[in-house]
A and B are shown apart, each in its own frame.
Chain A
């Protein structure tokens, strides 16, 4: 398989240039300094790793010279005489594109993966090289990028935050309950005080009634007014209760209306996010136009296959000793003329097959997508209609409740006015009695004070009961529910969150162990294949620390010689590549990293050549040469020794 890399004003290479590299072989980029060896490596690295999303990836990308360290600096991959650099990489019918603006954005399609920077590049600037050379033996930094550990840690953090919030709500409810208890105690005191006051009023009333009257007519009127005042007070109480209920009803309906409106808006937004009927029609038309190309492509495929059969039969004839062929340009069959034609036909066939697969896959995806969108749209339309009806019903309910409330308010106002009128009349007569009947005067004055106290107590009791009733419920997900039920719900939620945190913790540990296991399996396999005399065992423990064993003894990284360290780094980098980024078929090496004993270098490169052949990988090695930039392929173990 061939990959074509096209560069336009990239790094030190001005203008347009194209390079071909081949899978299943070691591609040696050879040139003297300043001829673009590193630029080519960087271009491949950029296309598979940018835009570099994590902080670590950005730092490494900047170290490799793929990205500027700050927004103010020009992008290092843009040629000094140009405003932008363009990199295209075509492989197996697909093209990856990367455009880098000098002081602007980086556009990569499809987007690269941060992991490429950690797993697939071996130069003196690689993270693994820097860490190990500084004596660092922990691989947590790579675990974070190649596993889901960071994501689960983020989830754990959110769950802990939710747990804290829930505990806060439980505490709030508990405080509310305490406050309700003290409000109730206060209410009981007020009620007892009221009882005493009423008793005292009755006693004074009785006393006044037992005294002989100076003005029997006035006295009679006074007694009848007192009875009327009691009746009026009871009437106000009777009217007040339904009035408060009506007020509550309206508040609750208004809240439900808001929830229904919010839900309606959410459904409408969801519907708007889906393509309109016209857009769907256009998309269907476009899909059909593309899909109808398949029969034509199949005809083209048949023709290519026919050509292929003819060439194969010509090749067979050649192998059987017949050299004459009217198809060959020379008039005779020659392998030299035939083989490029067969390659050409194979290439054409692959292109047509790719095109057919691409169109079929796009069509299948489109049909799948449309089959999801259409029923979803219908369901949403039905839901919106029913939600509108619900909102309208609630609105009508609010209107009716408002009318009822108005009636209740009027009734209450009339009752209150009547009560106050009688109260004024009572006061008037009391004043007259005080003047006309000095014997009763003092008692009437005392009675007035107690009646005033009774009014104050009534207001306080009313306020207190209202406060208790408001505190008696808690809002959970937009609905008010009794405190005891809210406590039960939050306690269950708290327990659920707690057990989820424990389960997520286990997943974080699993990620670590899984990382260690996969990595250790690969290094064991590598050591079995390569057989390095320096090391018996290379592994990572559950805490992601590298463990090196030699002759049964654990060895520290700092005790390794420079050559041993380089061979260890190379081995670990290959293990990381094979374990965590095997889907990207590129592995980039700078010759500088292969500065250790020739026997080990040959073993490792031999192993990589084997992997490249098995997996159709492109191994690209930059090497200092004497002339202009050239790329040569090494396909056999024998030639590795000549690198």
Chain B
């Protein structure tokens, strides 16, 4: 696994859009946690 440094800004922007979607659909704390935790995976990639 390696860290995908150059994509962090893109991931941040996408996570913010995701935050808007989650707010609009009134997601529960559990759903929010699940969605954001899944984003950790996007920080790293298998090598």
Residues of A in contact with B (beta carbons under 8 Å apart): 148, 151-152, 154-155, 157-159, 161-162, 476-477, 479, 481, 485, 488-489, 492-493, 496, 499-500, 503-504, 507
Chain B residues positioned under 8 Å from A157 (CB to CB) = 29
> When chains A and B are docked, how far (Å) is the Cα of A32 from the Cα of B5?
74
Contact at B40–A477, with CB atoms within 8 Å? yes
Contact at B5–A162, with CB atoms within 8 Å? no
Contact at A492–B3, with CB atoms within 8 Å? yes
Q: Residue of A at shortest CB range from B24? A: A148
Chain A residues positioned under 8 Å from B26 (CB to CB) = 151
Contact at A492–B43, with CB atoms within 8 Å? yes
- Name the distance in Å between A472's Cβ and chain B's nearest Cβ: 15
Contact at A485–B16, with CB atoms within 8 Å? no
Contact at A148–B36, with CB atoms within 8 Å? no
Interface of A is mostly: helix
Residues of B in contact with A (beta carbons under 8 Å apart): 1-3, 5, 8, 11-12, 15-16, 19-20, 22-24, 26-27, 29, 32-33, 36-37, 40-41, 43-44, 46
Cβ contact of B29, chosen from A154, A488, A500, A504, cutoff 8 A = A154
- Name the distance in Å between B33's Cβ and chain A's nearest Cβ: 5
Contact at B44–A155, with CB atoms within 8 Å? no
Contact at A154–B32, with CB atoms within 8 Å? yes
On whether A485 and B40 interact (CB within 8 A), knowing A148-B23, A157-B29, A504-B19, the answer reads no
Contact at A159–B36, with CB atoms within 8 Å? yes
Contact at B33–A500, with CB atoms within 8 Å? no
Cβ contact of B44, chosen from A148, A154, A489, cutoff 8 A = A489
Contact at A162–B43, with CB atoms within 8 Å? no
Chain B residues positioned under 8 Å from A479 (CB to CB) = 1, 46
User: What would 6 A/B residue contacts be, using CB atoms closer than 8 Å?
Assistant: A154-B32, A485-B2, A493-B40, A496-B12, A503-B12, A503-B19
Cβ contact of A489, chosen from B3, B29, B36, B46, cutoff 8 A = B3
Chain B residues positioned under 8 Å from A492 (CB to CB) = 3, 5, 8, 43
Contact at B12–A507, with CB atoms within 8 Å? no
Interface of B is mostly: helix
Chain B residues positioned under 8 Å from A493 (CB to CB) = 40, 43
Cβ contact of B36, chosen from A162, A488, A499, cutoff 8 A = A162
Q: Residue of A at shortest CB range from B16? A: A503
- Name the distance in Å between A490's Cβ and chain B's nearest Cβ: 9
Contact at B33–A162, with CB atoms within 8 Å? yes
- Name the distance in Å between B6's Cβ and chain A's nearest Cβ: 11
- Which of A481, A500, A504 has the largest count of B CB atoms less than 10 A from its CB? A500
On whether A158 and B1 interact (CB within 8 A), knowing A496-B11, A500-B15, the answer reads no
> When chains A and B are docked, how far (Å) is the Cα of A157 from the Cα of B37?
14
> When chains A and B are docked, how far (Å) is the Cα of A588 from the Cα of B38?
46
Chain B residues positioned under 8 Å from A481 (CB to CB) = 1
Chain B residues positioned under 8 Å from A477 (CB to CB) = 40-41, 44
Q: Residue of B at shortest CB range from A147? A: B23
Chain B residues positioned under 8 Å from A488 (CB to CB) = 3
> When chains A and B are docked, how far (Å) is the Cα of A504 from the Cα of B36?
13
Contact at A500–B3, with CB atoms within 8 Å? no
- Which of A154, A158, A488 has the largest count of B CB atoms less than 10 A from its CB? A158
> When chains A and B are docked, how far (Å) is the Cα of A152 from the Cα of B33?
13
Contact at A151–B3, with CB atoms within 8 Å? no
> When chains A and B are docked, how far (Å) is the Cα of A496 from the Cα of B15?
10
> When chains A and B are docked, how far (Å) is the Cα of A503 from the Cα of B14?
12
Cβ contact of B33, chosen from A148, A158, A496, cutoff 8 A = A158
On whether A496 and B8 interact (CB within 8 A), knowing A158-B32, A162-B33, A162-B37, the answer reads yes
Contact at A500–B41, with CB atoms within 8 Å? no
Q: Residue of A at shortest CB range from B15? A: A500
> When chains A and B are docked, how far (Å) is the Cα of A587 from the Cα of B22?
30
Additional A-B contact list (6), CB under 8 Å, known A152-B19, A477-B44: A479-B46, A488-B3, A489-B43, A500-B16, A500-B19, A507-B20
Q: Residue of B at shortest CB range from A506? A: B16
On whether A476 and B23 interact (CB within 8 A), knowing A158-B32, A496-B11, the answer reads no
Chain A residues positioned under 8 Å from B1 (CB to CB) = 476, 479, 481, 485, 489
